[in-house]
Amino acid sequence: MKVLVIGSGGREHAIIWKLSQSRVVDRIYCAPGNAGISEIAECIEVESKNLSAFVDFVKYEWIDLTVVGPEEPLAKGIVDLFLKEGRKIIGPTKAGAQIEGSKVFAKEFMKRYKIPTAKYQVFNSYKHAEEYIRLKGAPIVIKADGLAAGKGVFIAKTHDEAMDALKLIMKEKLFGPAGDRVVIEEYLQGQEVSYLVFTDGKTIVPMVTSKDHKRLLDNDEGPNTGGMGTFSPNPIITPELEKEILETVIQPTIMGLRAEGIIYKGILYAGLMIVNGKPYVLEFNCRFGDPETQVILPRLETDIIDIFMSISEQRLSKVNVKWKDGASLCVILASHGYPGTYKKGIPISGLEMVKRLKDVMVFHSGTGFDEEGKIVTDGGRVLGITALGEDLKDARNKVYNAIELIHFDGMQYRKDIGLTI
């Protein structure tokens, strides 16, 4: 089989790493990919603004299956386009992707189906939003409606911070039309968990649980990022809590979408806050998480192609999905300055040494080649060092020992992933 993966980060590297172990996959392409991905897949340039260029590519290369990493092509309707052309692709249609693509859609959907989430109001008038913030006071959470590359959420601790966030989104249009509307919601305090499932629109197959660490610095301090580290399993999710998440969040979501004529196929990711033992949805994503995927897929035993094909053909109930016991952990090595501005093109050393370590995987997030063909930094998040272990402590030790071997100027990372749960 020939498979195309769309995307360029650590998540896509992990998907491709898993695909490369499939007994039926003999060729993998990635558009556009990165330096690490190019070791196991053929990286290609496709004009990504033009979704039909992907259709042309899969027709020309006789690609059997396409897997979409990031949300943007899904929100723009890449799946609808592929299905119209009779091509297999993993991910929801444009209508299904609204669950991530519009926070307003997601909140109103949750209200319709009584899915637990923070109390909120939607505003398209700056003046009314300002009045609401004054009325409610801080802490309060301000969210741009549309996609904002993971940067559209502001947790305001003070009234002034809330006003600043509102101005950035609605007046200065930091995220363009994504900020035409805002969701303003109550601040929830609790423990965050990432809960991902495979679904073919009928059957739901949970993945192993995980936890992301969104803040830049140890002890959850500093600004929000795309994710600085993950581990799996997330011990907070007991079997009882998992049952509750499935019954109050995941099943009503898939069924609610179906009731509205949307057969949601692909990956559903619920970002949850556990407050007093109860799950509340912070956000839905219509794709794999990054860096959750880097800890989830190394624990998957089943051939991932069996899962993808059964999603595409709506026979997921027939697949026996198996996971490895033990644990996995991933720490992101980021560029100096991330999540703000950072330099690119900085040489990375030590990658060859880490390759020899048992149970350790390096998933590249933002890397490229210099003129001499050496691997250099090419993004804010650069590498995700991942290990499998008997338990979280074992996985953590393996990851931090491997990090000792890797260096690039300005490298920053959290030291506390897996230390406290």
Q: Where do contacts with ligand AMP occur on this chain (CB under 6 A)?
A: 118, 141, 143, 153, 155, 185, 187-188, 192, 214, 224, 271, 282-283
Nearest residue to ligand AMP, using CB?
283
Q: How far apart, in whole angstroms, are the C-alpha atoms of residue 75 and residue 78?
A: 8
**Of residues 150 and 206, the one with the C-beta less far from ligand GLY:** 150
Examine residue 212 and tell whether it contacts ligand GLY (CB under 6 A).
Answer: yes
73 binds, among ligand GLY, ligand AMP, none (CB under 5 to 8 A by kind): none
Query: Of 116, 200, 189, nearest to 155 (Cα)?
Result: 189
CA nearest neighbour of 185 among 159, 147, 154, 207: 154
In sequence order, what are the beta bridge partners of 65?
A: 3
Residue 227 binds which entry of ligand GLY, ligand AMP, none, CB below 5-8 Å type-dependent? ligand GLY
Q: Minimum distance from CB of 153 to ligand GLY (Å)?
A: 11
- Determine how many CB atoms are found less than 10 A away from the CB of residue 154: 19
Could you tell me how far CA 332 lies from the centroid of its own chain? 14
H helix and E strand count, the chain: 14, 22
Other C-beta atoms lying within 10 Å of the C-beta of residue 337: 12
**How far, in Å, CA of 145 to CA of 142, rounded?**
10
Q: Which does 378 bind (CB under 5 to 8 A by kind): ligand GLY, ligand AMP, none?
A: none
Q: How many residues bind ligand GLY (CB under 6 A)?
A: 7
> What is the rounded distance in angstroms from the CA atom of residue 420 to the CA atom of residue 404?
21
- Residues 142-161 contacting ligand GLY, CB under 6 A: 150
Q: Which stretch binds ligand GLY (CB under 6 A): 80-88, 103-111, 139-147, 282-290?
A: 282-290
Q: Hey, is 84 helix, strand or coil?
A: helix
Question: Smallest gap, in angstroms, from Cβ of residue 300 to ligand AMP?
Answer: 24
| Chain Cα centroid distance, residue 62 | 28
Give 259 or 421: the residue with its C-beta nearer to ligand GLY: 421
Whole-angstrom distance, CA of residue 351 vs CA of residue 183:
43
Q: Which is nearer to ligand GLY, 72 or 290 (CB)?
A: 290
Q: Which does 326 bind (CB under 5 to 8 A by kind): ligand GLY, ligand AMP, none?
A: none
- 36 versus 229: smaller Cβ distance to ligand GLY: 229
Contact partner at residue 285 from ligand GLY, ligand AMP, none, CB < 5 to 8 Å by partner kind: ligand GLY
Where do the H-state alpha helices sit in 260-296? 292-296
Question: Least distance to ligand AMP from the beta carbon of 224, Å?
Answer: 6
Q: Reduce the DSSP state of residue 388 to 3 states and report it.
A: strand
Binding residues (CB under 6 A) for ligand GLY: these are 150, 212, 227, 285, 289-290, 292
